[in-house]
Amino acid sequence: MNAGRRLEGKTALVTGAGSGIGKAIALTFAREGATVMLAGRRAEPLDAVKQEVEALGGTAHVRPADVAVQAQAQALVDAAKAELGRIDVLVNNAGKTFDGLILRMKWDGLDEALAINLKSVFYMCAAAGKVMLAQKGGAIVNVSSVVALTGNAGQSAYVAAKAGVIGLTKSLAQEFSSRGIRVNAIAPGFIDTQMTQALPDAVKQTYLGRIPLGRFGSPDDVAGVAAFLASDAAAYLTGQVLAVDGGLHMG
């Protein structure tokens, strides 16, 4: 295997692939030789990423879906199996931040936070897990957050959901291991995306002062770790949580 093409011949399904970290993961996987299926709620950004994949000489398929809805998550996996032939890698990246103090929380907001950030991962892992069990192999990479390890005032719903992703990752690593399926998680720290760019400068400077490496991360920083976890180079890793955070959390 070419050392620069660690995912040569593999197929990968990436959720939340239209922008930010998901887009970077899809492009990195394509550079590494994988055929990718791009999933997200809107077709237009996925089509744009598909064009970038093809410009790299890669192959991509597009399937819009809201993975917070169980039937759509199942249909997405069915389409991926049909179009790709098999699913070697699943990356659960779809997510959305939710801010609000618990004493002011609207409970429908809590339901939405859990559906988008946690229940979607259950749905996707269950559906893709059946495919991987039949294949007797595969790799699942769940994107959590560093706040799941540290907590964060004013984000209790989001933090709880992302912490649930870590617990689910560890449990599924045990459930799926006998069939050669590895399940790991990434906990990104402060990553420079459109979402974080909108924060006030004072808030960004406060975070920057807490990061030992002295810079914010890029989506490519996360994508490189995702490619490693998806590859055979990580063949003896399962149930692990890798904090890609510049040292923000050291635990």
Whole-number pLDDT of residue 4:
66
Burial of 183 (0-12, 13-18, 19+ CB in 10 A): buried
What is the pLDDT, as a whole number, of residue 251? 61
Residue ranges of the chain with pLDDT lower than 70? 1-4, 195, 251
Task: Supply the pTM of this predicted model.
Answer: 0.95
**pLDDT score at 194:** 77
Note the pLDDT of residue 201: 87
Active site residue 123: no
What is the distance of C-alpha 152 from the center of its chain?
Answer: 20
Q: Supply 120's token pair.
A: 């979607």
Name the fold adopted by 11-244: Rossmann fold (3.40.50)
3-state secondary structure of 101: coil
- CA 101 centroid distance within chain: 26
Q: What is the pLDDT of residue 1?
A: 40
Instruction: Please tell me the predicted confidence (pLDDT) of residue 2.
Output: 47
Catalytic-role residue among 123, 158, 207, 236 = 158
- Decide: helix, strand or coil at residue 110: helix
